[in-house]
């Protein structure tokens, strides 16, 4: 765990980490010595010889003072390390996130990363701040005590020593037992919670179909399973729980019995023996503390694991310095193969989008349309083949150079929780107010702004929650217009919009794409028809290429797609005159 | 019902009291080895070795008593915990089945999730572990102290002398704690939103060359946190180190031995009586930390109980079963609706849905179309006026009867994580395979289902991921099987998935045939043949009539049609 901590923190923190560890070790050893000193103080004292006890009491006072100082020093070091850790972890996570391929960022990961950067870091900060010391002490102090006992009475030392591996084994055994049943119980608990959430989210459907209350069998089954898992855990894990809680008392009892055996069977110095017995009681105590910290330690370890995993995720290689680059405004995919995990999505695909022309991608879902667009924006790197933007391999461009070439308008629009103006200005930070307003006008955002109480200064809410989908789309188009990049990547919206938004977005897109190189995942028939080149994808390969008229004449897949879609667009829910 | 934690814990209160009592015995039994060592010391120093084994057996006996009581109390608390979890989760589910459908949205599903998962977890921690730990943390030192005081109250006081020092240091530390803690939570929250923005918006941020700025914002939030935490912890760490050092075992050893030696030298105490103090006194301060943990989980459980309480306190939809519809005639009379009691989303709605006719709702987004449609299946109840089916107010119809009459198909369909068969047969679990297959065929989804690994037994979301259009068709099959005479439909459903648009449309056409249909319309041409079109504006019906009537009237509907034509060009 220490090694992992060192790795996640990075080289500059190896020194402070080592110093803190040394401080903790010194404290643990000194505390062990304090316990050992019980024997020479108690021996005379129990005989009533207070004068004999006093010199050792003096020694004890000195060692206790040293222990207190060591505690102070390690606490300070741990605190400083914890603070450094907070900064270092956040910066490393932040830097790494900025360099990860865009494709890495899936919605599921967002929540995980957010948790990792807030409570996860706090968990890990706790390791030097309050976990390391008790854990190290738990093992080192008893070791010192046992070592010292060997010199005083080897028989009791052996009795104590016998219990050590036993304690460790029982702790391990019960931890494993609990961990195993924990997984089962957790899984059952998560399943039950998910079912309740599903039950809530699907309430409309469930009620409409008469399945409320006890009628939702899946929820009932999940709840019953939790109950079963809980009971099973008690039966299987309970003994481990009890055993580990009793281990310390057991070991003390063993030593008591051994001590009695020694006292009865042989002749010993009573005071020494008693002093030793007292020592044994102390010896086991720190172990209890360690057992209590197991859960916190496990939590910190899990957080650390997740950070380690994140930091080990490879980032996209980038040239260290920007070389001069003049773009010709074209897009080219050359023999591109790509897949997610073991699923192949694109298979030796070649495609050229000449400058200032429009190419429409069509094809069934899963045919690779989105992947093509993502590869152009370098969400991922290809497995084989080359993607060129403006005539240059995207891997030879810096992120800034590549992104200066392209505007991206996707369906899942993300707006920052800021004013409308700020969101548009994100397209080009140095744009003048007039330019921002002009872009807003072209994307028909001005209509939205006049409707809202604070006009352009209206805050849009987290992710743009205060606006409708169509309105968000228009703001994102304004942003892209302001950016004024030579290449536009567009994923046309599929969702139904009201006629006003539909018309507004149509004119906004016309303003954005005029005289640009355009690669569009097309859903609207008029978009497809107006393309200079239509590329029909199927299973990661190009099935057909050509203009609308050429492809219709060819009578292939595109012609079938076209007739199907035309039929759909003329659909009437209820027949009747138009 | 009793509110808060006490109310929630009531079903397990008896078990908790019993477990607590057992824990008291267990904690006292945990002291036996210490007493045994003291006793052995007393006898050895007095030179009696005869009774030593008896004392050793005490220790063994103490161990056994503790074993038994611990097992019993662990068992009791865990069974109580299992029962409580089950009880609370079922209570939440039962209650959710009664609240108005309109209550369920993104926010409330977050609340439900937290209540069902985190908050039940907090209760679990309290019942399963914290309560017994807390009892042990109190009983052990108290029992030890009582024993020590009977031996010598003066030395006991001396040993306890460090506690006031510790407590005052602790008080210094805790000064302003709630405010600081709130600031701490707020700083963490800022990191959270900075990282969410950074990560969620990363595509935007990168494509617009703003990566560095957002990155800076994230780092600023984290540095603010580090600064805040640093100065807070920094101000506490010295006091904390002193306080912890004060009650550390090392200092306690010194105090006990120093005090003991002094008392023996003064002749106030027999040498052998120092032993119990060394054995028990040193560990007296240990449980202070456990007390802290225990109090903390008690606080967390209280908050959790309050959150669960808020979910359980959502007023249920009133249900009476005193009217029976005669026929399937739907009538809105003077209907008004408001979400917040101030602004009216609907007002003065009067209209009739004749059996077997199609009524289309048209209007800009926010005009109240979906709200109006949602009143029929009781997603909400009207705040004024009434909605009746066959002459019976929907609020007075037995819900089972209501939902046998009203079905609906919406745009955002999410299937249950169950088999396809269960999903289709949701409304009629007794349906035969033949029935299920027949409706699946009619909904144009049968062929796709047979391609799935387990066919109709494939579990949605586990064995197979269906596209939006495919899920849509499963939900249409479900509605077909339920076969309700009245249907509420969002027309955008037909366009939810361009890949399977035509198939969804065919399925919908089959579904709506012959039913009383209330449709929320987005694309005007699809509903041009409707029997009546209601044009909504700001919650009122501003025009009504057939397509031809309305075009001829040249009002709002005619203008909307014109805009659509323009957009299509």
In angstroms, what separates the C-alpha of A447 from chain B's closest C-alpha? 14
Length of chain B: 569
- Measured distance CA(A172)–CA(B348) in Å, rounded: 71
- In terms of Cβ atoms closer than 10 Å to its own Cβ (0-12, 13-18, 19+), residue B480 is buried
Query: How far apart are the C-alpha atoms of B181 and A224, rounded to whole Å?
Result: 39
Q: Is A299 in the same domain as A424?
A: no
CB contact under 8 A, B219 and A94: yes
Mark yes or no for CB contact B528/A41 under 8 Å: no
* pLDDT tops 60 at residue A513: yes
Least CB–CB distance from A75: residue in B211, B241, B497:
B241
Interchain contact, A75 vs B52, CB within 8 Å: no
Using a CB-CB distance cutoff of 8 angstroms, which residues of chain A are in contact with residue B365? 468, 470, 498, 501
The string of pLDDT tens digits covering residues B138-179 is 888 889 889 999 988 998 988 888 778 877 877 777 777 778
Kindly report, residue by residue over A212-222, the tens digit of the pLDDT: 655 677 888 88
Beta bridge partners of B533: B360, B545
With respect to residue A15, please indicate whether it lies within any of the assigned structural domains.
yes
- Confidence (pLDDT) at A212: 66
Over residues A374-425, the pLDDT tens digits come to: 899 888 889 999 999 999 999 998 888 888 888 888 777 778 778 899 888 8
Report how far residue A532's alpha carbon sits from residue A546's, in angstroms, rounded to the nearest whole number: 8
The DSSP H or E segment spanning A337 is strand A331-340
Contact present, B471 and B415 (Cβ < 8 Å): yes
- Please indicate, yes or no, whether residues A227 and A102 belong to a single structural domain of this protein: yes
Picking from A478, A425, A428, the residue whose alpha carbon sits closest to that of residue A448 is A478
Which one, of B130, B113, B132, B180, lies nearest residue B301 by Cα? B130
Q: How far apart are the first and last CA of chain A?
A: 73
Interface test with chain A among B206, B314, B509, B518, by most A beta carbons within 10 Å: B206
Of the two residues B289 and A362, the one the predictor is more confident about is: A362
Model pLDDT, residue B434: 93
- The alpha-carbon gap from A343 to the nearest alpha carbon of chain B, in Å, equals 15
Query: 3-state class of B433 per DSSP?
Result: helix
Query: Do A482 and A367 lie in a common domain?
Result: yes
CATH number of B1-151+287-317: 1.20.1560.10
Higher-pLDDT residue of A123 and A390 is A390
Domain total of chain A: 2
Strand, coil or helix: A397 = coil
Do A216 and A245 belong together in one domain?
yes
pLDDT of residue B107: 65
Which chain A residue's Cα is nearest to B418? A218
Residue B353, φ and ψ in degrees, nearest 5? -110, 105
Given A312, A347, A373, the domain boundary residue is A312
Phi, then psi, of B348 in degrees rounded to 5: 55, 40
The whole-number pLDDT of residue B568 equals: 63
**Nearest Cβ partner for B90 among A113, A223, A249:** A223
Q: Are residues A70 and A6 in the same domain?
A: yes
Contact B420, B450 (CB under 8 A): no
Which of A142, A208, A473 to mutate to probe the B interface, most B CBs <10 Å?
Answer: A208
Inter-chain contact A568–B502, Cβ cutoff 8 Å?
yes
Of B205, B209, B403, the CB nearest to A207: B403
Report the Cα–Cα distance between both ends of chain B, in Å, rounded.
Answer: 63
Q: Residue A492: what pLDDT?
A: 81
Backbone angles phi, psi at A346, to 5 degrees: -120, 140
A230 vs B567: which has the higher pLDDT: A230
Residues A371 and A247 in one domain: no
Instruction: Say yes or no: A227 and A336 in one domain.
Output: no
- What confidence score (pLDDT) does residue A577 get? 39
- Per-residue pLDDT at A540 exceeds 90: no
CATH number assigned to the domain comprising residue A391: 3.40.50.300
Q: Are A528 and A534 in contact (CB under 8 A)?
A: yes
Q: What are the helix (H) ranges across B368-453?
A: 369-375, 399-405, 420-424, 433-442, 446-451
Inter-chain contact B37–A278, Cβ cutoff 8 Å? yes
Task: Give the HSE-up count for residue B104: Cα atoms under 13 Å, Cβ half-sphere.
Answer: 26
Residue A169 has pLDDT above 70, yes or no: yes
Residue B200 to residue A463, Cβ atoms within 8 A: yes
Q: Report the Cα B535 to chain-centroid distance in Å.
A: 40
The partner residue sitting opposite A196, judged by closest CB among B92, B508, B523, is: B92
Q: Does any CB of chain A come closer than 8 Å to the CB of residue B202? A: yes
Q: How far apart are CA A175 and CA A449, in angstroms?
A: 60
φ/ψ (deg, to 5) at B408: -155, 155
Question: Same domain for A300 and A446?
Answer: no
Residues A359, A290, single domain; the answer is no
The Cα–Cα gap between A415 and A472 comes to 7
Residue A576 inside a domain? The answer is no
> d(Cα A98, Cα B199) in Å, to the nearest integer?
9
Q: For residue A387, is it within any domain?
A: yes
Residue A365, domain extent: 331-569
| Cross-strand partners of B518 | B359, B488
The number of CA neighbours under 13 Å toward the Cβ of A457 is 2
Tokens of residue A26, six digits? 């010194």
Mutation for testing the A interface, residue in B102, B130, B209 having most A CBs under 10 Å: B209
Strand order across the A343-353 sheet: A343-353, A331-340, A384-389, A392-393
A20: enclosing H helix or E strand: helix A14-36
Q: In what helix (H) or strand (E) does residue A44 lie, and over which residues does it extend?
A: helix A38-46
Q: Do A80 and A31 sit in the same domain of this protein?
A: yes
Q: How far apart are CA A374 and CA A468, in angstroms?
A: 25
pLDDT digits (tens, 9 = 90+) for A32-42: 999 889 889 98
What integer is the mean pLDDT of A430-448? 90
- Please judge whether B254 and A462 are an interchain contact, meaning their C-beta atoms are less than 8 angstroms apart: no
- Among chain B residues, CA nearest to A44: B271
Q: B328 to chain A, minimum CA–CA distance in Å?
A: 16
Cα separation of B99 and B90, whole Å?
15
Whether residues A364 and A305 fall in one domain: no
Is it the case that residue A278 has pLDDT exceeding 90?
Answer: no
Which among A79, A216, A577 is the nearest to B233, CB-wise? A79
Q: Are A532 and A519 in contact (CB under 8 A)?
A: no
Contact call for residues B139 and B28 (beta carbons, < 8 A): yes
Q: Burial letters for A179-218: b for 16+ Cβ neighbours within 10 Å, e otherwise?
A: eebbebbeebbebbbbbbbbbbbbbbbbbbbbbbbeebeb
Q: Taking a C-beta distance cutoff of 8 angstroms, is the pair B503, B344 a contact?
A: no
Flag whether pLDDT at A261 surpasses 90: no
Which of A496, A411, A509 shows the shortest CA–CA distance to B564?
Answer: A496
Nearest by CB: A242 against B74, B89, B512: B74
For residues A131 and A2, is the Cβ–Cβ distance under 8 A? no
> Any idea which fold B330-568 has?
Rossmann fold (3.40.50)
Q: How far lies A430's CA from each of A143, A436, A482, B267, B435, in Å?
A: 66, 10, 10, 87, 64
Separation in Å, CA of B189 to nearest CA in chain A: 8
Q: Measuring CA to CA, how many Å separate A203 from each of A207, B99, B468?
A: 6, 10, 19
- What was the pLDDT predicted at B234? 77
pTM score:
0.72
**Res A300: pLDDT:** 80
CA distance B403 to A430: 58
Q: Do the Cβ atoms of A90 and B36 come within 8 Å?
A: no
Q: Give the pairing of strands B516-520 and B358-362.
A: parallel
| High-pLDDT (> 70) share of chain B, % | 93
- Residues A335 and A280 reside in one and the same domain: no
Residue A326 lies in a domain: no
Q: Tell me the average confidence (pLDDT) per consecutive run of 10 residues in chain B, 569 residues long.
A: 71 90 91 87 82 87 90 87 86 84 71 78 81 85 90 88 79 76 78 72 68 72 83 78 80 90 90 87 70 76 85 83 87 90 87 92 84 88 92 89 85 81 87 92 90 88 77 89 89 72 83 88 84 92 93 90 74
Mean pLDDT of chain A: 83
Domain-located, residue A196: yes
Query: Taking CA atoms, what residue in B is nearest to A480?
Result: B208
Indicate the helix (H) or strand (E) that contains A519.
strand A517-521
Chain-chain contact of B496 with A495 (C-beta, under 8 angstroms): yes
**Rounded mean pLDDT, A446-456:** 85
Please report the residues numbered 57 through 76 in chain B whose beta carbons come closer than 8 angstroms to any beta carbon of chain A.
59-60, 62-63, 66-67, 70-71, 74-75
In angstroms, what separates the C-alpha of B117 from chain A's closest C-alpha? Answer: 5
């Amino acid at each position: 765990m220490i090694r992992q901590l060192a790795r996640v923190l990075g080289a500059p923190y190896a020194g402070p980490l080592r110093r803190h560890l040394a401080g903790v070790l010194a404290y643990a050893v000194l505390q062990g010595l304090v316990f050992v000193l019980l024997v020479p103080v108690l021996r005379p004292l129990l005989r009533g010889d207070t004068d004999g006890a006093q010199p050792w009491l003096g020694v004890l006072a000195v060692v206790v003072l040293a222990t207190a100082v060591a505690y102070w020093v390690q606490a300070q070091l741990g605190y400083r390390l914890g603070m450094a850790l907070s900064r270092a972890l956040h910066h490393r996570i932040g830097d790494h996130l900025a360099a990860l391929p865009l494709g890495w960022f899936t919605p599921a990961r967002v929540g995980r990363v957010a948790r990792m950067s807030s409570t996860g870091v706090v968990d890990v900060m706790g390791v030097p701040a309050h976990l390391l010391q008790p854990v190290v002490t738990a093992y080192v102090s008893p070791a010192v005590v046992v070592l010292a006992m060997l010199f005083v009475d080897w028989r009791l030392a052996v009795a104590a020593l016998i219990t050590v591996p036993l304690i460790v084994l029982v702790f391990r055994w019960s931890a494993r037992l609990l961990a195993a049943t924990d997984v089962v119980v957790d899984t059952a608990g998560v399943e039950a919670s998910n079912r309740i959430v599903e039950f809530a989210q699907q309430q409309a459907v469930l009620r409409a179909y008469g399945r409320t209350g006890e009628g939702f069998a899946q929820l009932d089954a999940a709840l019953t399973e939790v109950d079963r898992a809980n009971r099973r855990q008690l039966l299987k894990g309970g003994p481990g729980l009890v055993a580990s809680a009793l281990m310390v008392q057991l070991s003390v009892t063993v030593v008591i019995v051994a001590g009695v055996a020694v006292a009865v069977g042989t002749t010993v110095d009573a005071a020494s023996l008693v002093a030793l017995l007292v020592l044994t009681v102390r010896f086991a105590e720190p172990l209890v503390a360690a057992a209590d910290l197991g859960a916190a330690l496990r939590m910190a370890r899990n957080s650390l694991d997740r950070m380690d995993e994140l930091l080990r995720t490879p980032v996209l290689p980038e040239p260290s310095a920007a070389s001069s680059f003049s773009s010709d405004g074209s897009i080219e995919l050359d023999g591109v193969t790509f897949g997610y995990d073991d699923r192949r999505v694109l298979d030796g695909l070649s495609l050229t989008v000449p400058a200032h022309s429009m190419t429409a991608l069509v094809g069934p879902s899963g045919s690779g349309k989105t992947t093509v667009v993502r590869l152009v924006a370098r969400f991922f790197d290809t497995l084989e083949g080359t993607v060129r933007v403006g005539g240059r391999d995207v891997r030879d461009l810096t992120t800034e150079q590549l992104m200066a070439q392209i505007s991206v308008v996707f369906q899942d629009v993300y707006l920052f929780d800021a004013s409308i103006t700020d969101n548009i200005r994100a397209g080009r930070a140095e744009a003048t107010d007039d330019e921002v307003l002009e872009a807003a006008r072209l994307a028909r955002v001005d209509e939205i702004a006049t409707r809202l109480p604070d006009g352009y200064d209206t805050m849009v809410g987290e992710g743009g929650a205060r606006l409708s989908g169509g309105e968000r789309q228009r703001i994102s188009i304004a942003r892209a217009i302001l950016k004024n990049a030579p290449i536009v990547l567009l994923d046309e919206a599929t969702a139904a919009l009201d006629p006003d938004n539909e018309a507004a977005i149509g004119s906004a897109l016309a303003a954005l794409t005029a005289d640009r190189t355009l690669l569009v995942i097309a859903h609207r028939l008029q978009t497809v028809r107006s393309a200079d080149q239509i590329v029909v994808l199927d299973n990661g390969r190009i099935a057909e290429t050509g203009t609308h008229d050429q492809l219709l004449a060819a009578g292939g897949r595109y012609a079938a797609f076209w007739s199907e879609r035309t039929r759909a667009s003329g659909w009437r829910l209820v027949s009747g005159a138009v | 019902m009793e509110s808060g934690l006490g109310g929630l814990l009531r079903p397990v209160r008896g078990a908790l009291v019993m477990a607590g009592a057992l824990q008291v015995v267990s904690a006292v039994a945990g002291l036996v080895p210490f007493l045994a060592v003291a006793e052995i010391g007393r006898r050895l120093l007095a030179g009696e070795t005869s009774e030593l084994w008896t004392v050793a057996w005490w220790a063994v006996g103490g161990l056994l008593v503790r074993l038994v009581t611990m097992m019993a109390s662990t068992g009791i608390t865990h069974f109580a915990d299992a029962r409580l979890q089950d009880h609370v989760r079922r209570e939440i589910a039962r209650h959710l089945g009664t609240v108005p459908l309109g209550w369920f949205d993104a926010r409330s599903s977050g609340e439900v999730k937290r209540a069902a998962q985190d908050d039940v977890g907090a209760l679990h921690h309290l019942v399963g572990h914290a309560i017994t730990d807390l009892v042990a943390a109190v009983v052990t030192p108290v029992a030890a102290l009582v024993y020590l005081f009977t031996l010598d109250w003066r030395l006991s006081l001396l040993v306890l002398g460090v506690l006031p020092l510790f407590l005052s240091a602790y008080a210094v530390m805790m000064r302003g704690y709630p405010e600081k803690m709130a600031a701490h939570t707020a700083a963490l929250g800022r990191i959270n939103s900075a990282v969410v923005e950074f990560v969620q918006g990363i595509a935007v941020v990168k494509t617009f060359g703003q990566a560095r700025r957002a990155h800076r914002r994230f780092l600023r939030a984290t540095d603010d946190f580090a600064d805040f935490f640093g100065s807070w912890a920094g101000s506490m760490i010295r006091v904390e180190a002193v306080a912890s050092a004060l009650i550390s075992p090392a200092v306690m050893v010194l105090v006990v031995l120093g005090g003991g030696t002094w008392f023996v030298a003064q002749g106030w105490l027999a040498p052998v009586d120092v032993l119990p103090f060394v054995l028990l006194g040193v560990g007296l301060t240990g449980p202070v930390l456990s007390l802290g943990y225990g109090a903390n989980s008690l606080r967390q459980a209280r908050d959790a109980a309050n959150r669960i309480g808020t979910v359980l306190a959502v007023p249920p939809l009133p249900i009476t079963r005193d009217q029976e519809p005669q026929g399937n005639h739907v009538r809105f009379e003077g209907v008004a609706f408001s979400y917040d009691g101030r602004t009216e989303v609907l007002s003065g709605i009067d209209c009739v849905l004749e059996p077997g006719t199609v009524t289309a709702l048209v209007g800009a987004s926010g005009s109240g179309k979906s709200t109006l449609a949602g009143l029929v299946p009781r997603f909400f109840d009207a705040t004024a006026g009434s909605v009746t089916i066959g002459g019976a107010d929907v609020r007075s119809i037995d819900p089972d009867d209501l939902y046998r009459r009203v079905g609906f198909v919406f745009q955002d369909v999410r299937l249950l994580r169950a088999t396809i068969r269960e999903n289709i047969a949701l409304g009629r679990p007794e349906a035969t395979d033949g029935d299920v297959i027949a409706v699946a065929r009619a909904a144009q989804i049968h062929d796709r289902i047979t391609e799935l690994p387990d066919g109709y037994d494939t579990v949605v979301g586990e064995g197979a991921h269906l596209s939006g259009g495919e899920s849509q068709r499963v939900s249409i099959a479900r509605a077909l099987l339920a076969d309700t005479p009245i249907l509420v439909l969002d027309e955008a459903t037909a366009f939810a998935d361009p890949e399977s648009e035509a198939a969804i449309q065919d399925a919908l056409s089959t579904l709506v045939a012959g039913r009383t249909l209330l449709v929320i319309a987005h694309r005007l041409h699809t509903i041009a043949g409707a029997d009546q079109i209601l044009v909504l504006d700001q919650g009122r019906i501003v025009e009504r009539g057939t397509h031809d009537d309305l075009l001829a009237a040249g009002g709002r509907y005619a203008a909307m049609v014109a805009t659509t034509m323009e957009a299509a060009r």
